[in-house]
């Protein structure tokens, strides 16, 4: 099908706000807000007008979560299991099919304003992977701190760059990314997003706007206009800024009279930061990101679509980052690839209320390329124990089992004779995954392009 041949005026717009390392307990609608010193009325209103999921699971690091969303595949399949290491090809091979590539075929105009983290080499930047235009970073926000350190030598390690690009043209550098640019980053992303939505509505073209923001990734710095507004420091000021900007962004949909034809998603790529002074709050869950603990994996997830998603609903059904890919493809009327395993499940029946179930019974919790744990229903079995990012992972001779209804912080191992039956469905889910790998081998980390899958064994 040629790009655009499937476009229809009734195709819904998709606005996807993807924040960076937001703890489960930070927002008012998830038990935070005023409890943390900063109410989040605009994001809370979004939740009240739509649906909250309380068991949305991401991956343990930024790159794997973004890979799962963009491909619908467990990141270990794609060789995107960790934040890229210097000196090897990073990100997704060209063989992977991305969400914007699918949506563009259906007539969507697709834009990315924010952090990519799925490849910086030729052929792997956002405008080469389905987005019509983009602005932001190919890597991550840590680099903004480099220039603040004594001894940092730009001749040895050049500063990371801000980029913008358009399909069919080379991306161009807009200058160094430092702490000053970090404070301005989200304002620029939101502003470009608002302009993009106006252009698409004016052109009567459905849009997919992907905003992978900096907030609240360290260094958590507010825009100068928000510095000091709460009296509680940079972290709190940045929360006020983000809530205000989300409110204005959603307000543009009303201004353009497209709110009822726009699916809005707000979620995070990982759980809370574990780096002072920017440490976040995981709410009822234990552990930190870069582990398989609930505080790493569980994130806020809000979906609003007036007339399709009933307001004020909540579900604790199991969901995973890969499900976002499959759900948005279904919303757009796009077919997911049939020549490879797609791990995502369409969540729209759950979101719109035609089903009380997500259709997912388990989540495999990889940390890098090692299976640390498996979630099945309300149970979780850890095979490798690592509670916090800086703890060494410990291989367990006997799994640790937790009933997450009874023990959300994963403190009290209940792997008792009466509970060993849980191993059966957990190991069945693991076996099913590895059986699929036998037919569709994993792409090794650092695989260059061009890549073609080997013949199945």
* CATH number of the structural domain spanning residue 369: 3.30.1120.10
Of 346, 361, 376, the residue that ends a domain is: 361
In whole angstroms, give the CA distance from residue 169 to residue 177. 22
Q: What is the mean pLDDT of residues 417-446?
A: 96
**pLDDT at 2 (0 to 100):** 41
Phi-psi region for residue 224, left (φ > 0), alpha (ψ -120 to 50) or beta? alpha
| Residues 182 and 219: beta-carbon distance below 8 Å | yes
349 and 372 in a single domain? The answer is: no
The pLDDT > 70 percentage for the chain reads 98
**pLDDT at 85 (0 to 100):** 76
- The CATH number covering residue 53 comes to 3.40.720.10
Q: What is the pLDDT of residues 335-390, one digit of tens each?
A: 999 999 999 999 999 999 999 999 999 999 999 999 999 999 999 999 999 999 99
Question: What is the 8-class DSSP label of residue 303?
Answer: E
For residue 277, name the pLDDT band (cuts at 50, 70, 90).
Answer: confident
Residue 454 inside a domain? The answer is no
Residue 288 inside a domain? The answer is yes
Burial 282-303 (b: 16+ CB within 10 A, else e): bbebbbbbbbbbbbbbbbbbbb
Burial label for 25, CB within 10 Å (0-12, 13-18, 19+), is: buried
357 and 367 in a single domain? The answer is: no
Phi-psi region for residue 397, left (φ > 0), alpha (ψ -120 to 50) or beta? alpha
Q: pTM here?
A: 0.96
Q: What is the pLDDT of residues 94-137, one digit of tens each?
A: 999 999 999 999 999 999 999 999 999 999 999 999 999 999 99
pLDDT higher than threshold 80 for residue 252: yes
Catalytic residue among 62, 110, 200, 365: 62
For residue 151, name the pLDDT band (cuts at 50, 70, 90).
Answer: very high
Question: What is the 8-class DSSP label of residue 2?
Answer: -
Q: Which domain holds residue 402?
A: 363-439
Catalytic residue among 29, 110, 112, 117: 117
117 and 217 in a single domain? The answer is: yes
357 and 368 in a single domain? The answer is: no
Number of domains in the chain: 2
182 and 211 in a single domain? The answer is: yes
Of 326, 361, 396, the residue that ends a domain is: 361
215 and 160 in a single domain? The answer is: yes
Residue 307 inside a domain? The answer is yes
Closest of 98, 113, 25, 102 to residue 66, by C-alpha: 98
Of 313, 330, 361, the residue that ends a domain is: 361
For the chain, what is the radius of gyration of the CA atoms?
21
Average pLDDT, the chain: 95
Query: If DSSP codes are grouped into helix, strand and coil, which group holds residue 391?
Result: coil
Residue 8 inside a domain? The answer is no
169 and 290 in a single domain? The answer is: yes
| Residues 344 and 72: beta-carbon distance below 8 Å | yes
Helices and strands per DSSP (H, E), number in the chain: 10, 15
**pLDDT at 5 (0 to 100):** 43
Phi-psi region for residue 125, left (φ > 0), alpha (ψ -120 to 50) or beta? beta
Q: What is the pLDDT of residues 311-344, one digit of tens each?
A: 999 999 999 999 999 999 999 999 999 999 999 9
Active site residue 320: no
In whole angstroms, give the CA distance from residue 194 to residue 345. 30
Active site residue 62: yes
């Amino acid at each position: 099908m040629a790009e655009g041949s499937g476009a229809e005026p009734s195709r819904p717009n998709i606005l996807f706000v993807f924040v960076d390392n937001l703890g489960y307990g930070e927002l008012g609608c998830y038990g935070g807000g005023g409890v943390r010193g900063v109410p989040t009325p605009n994001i809370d209103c979004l939740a009240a007008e739509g649906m909250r999921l309380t068991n949305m699971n991401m991956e343990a690091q930024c790159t794997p979560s973004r890979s799962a969303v963009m491909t619908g595949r467990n990141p270990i399949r794609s060789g995107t299991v960790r934040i890229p290491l210097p000196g090897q090809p990073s990100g997704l091979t060209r063989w992977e099919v991305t969400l914007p590539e699918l949506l563009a075929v259906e007539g969507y105009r697709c834009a990315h304003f924010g952090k990519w983290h799925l490849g910086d080499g030729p052929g792997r930047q956002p405008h080469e992977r389905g987005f019509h235009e983009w602005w932001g970073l190919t890597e991550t926000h840590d680099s903004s701190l480099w220039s603040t350190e004594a001894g940092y030598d730009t001749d040895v390690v050049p500063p990371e760059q801000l980029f913008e690009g358009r399909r069919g043209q080379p991306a161009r550098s807009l200058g160094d990314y430092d702490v000053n640019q970090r404070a301005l980053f989200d304002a620029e992303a939101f502003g470009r997003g608002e302009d993009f939505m106006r252009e698409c509505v004016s052109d009567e073209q459905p849009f997919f706007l992907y905003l992978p923001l900096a907030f609240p990734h360290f260094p958590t710095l507010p825009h100068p206009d928000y510095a000091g507004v709460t009296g509680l420091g940079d972290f709190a000021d940045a929360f006020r800024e983000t809530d205000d900007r989300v409110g204005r962004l959603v307000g543009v949909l009303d201004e353009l009279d497209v709110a009822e034809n726009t699916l809005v998603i707000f979620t995070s790529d990982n759980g809370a930061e574990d780096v002072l002074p920017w440490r976040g709050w995981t709410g009822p869950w234990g552990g930190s990101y870069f582990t398989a603990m609930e505080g790493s994996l569980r994130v806020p997830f809000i979906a609003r679509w007036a007339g399709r998603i009933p307001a004020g609903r909540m579900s604790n059904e199991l969901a995973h980052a890969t499900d976002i890919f499959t759900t948005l493809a279904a919303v757009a009327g796009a077919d997911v690839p049939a020549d490879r395993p797609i791990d995502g499940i369409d969540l729209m029946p759950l979101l719109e209320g035609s089903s009380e179930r997500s259709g997912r019974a388990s989540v495999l919790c990889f940390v890098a390329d090692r299976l640390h744990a498996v979630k099945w229903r309300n149970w979780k079995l850890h095979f490798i124990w690592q509670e916090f990012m800086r703890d060494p992972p410990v291989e367990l001779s006997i799994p640790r089992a937790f009933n997450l209804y009874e023990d959300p912080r994963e403190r009290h191992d209940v792997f008792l004779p009466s509970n060993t039956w849980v191993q059966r469905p957990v190991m069945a889910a693991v076996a099913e995954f590895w059986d699929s790998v036998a037919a569709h081998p994993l792409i090794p980390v650092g695989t260059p392009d061009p890549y073609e899958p080997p013949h199945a064994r």
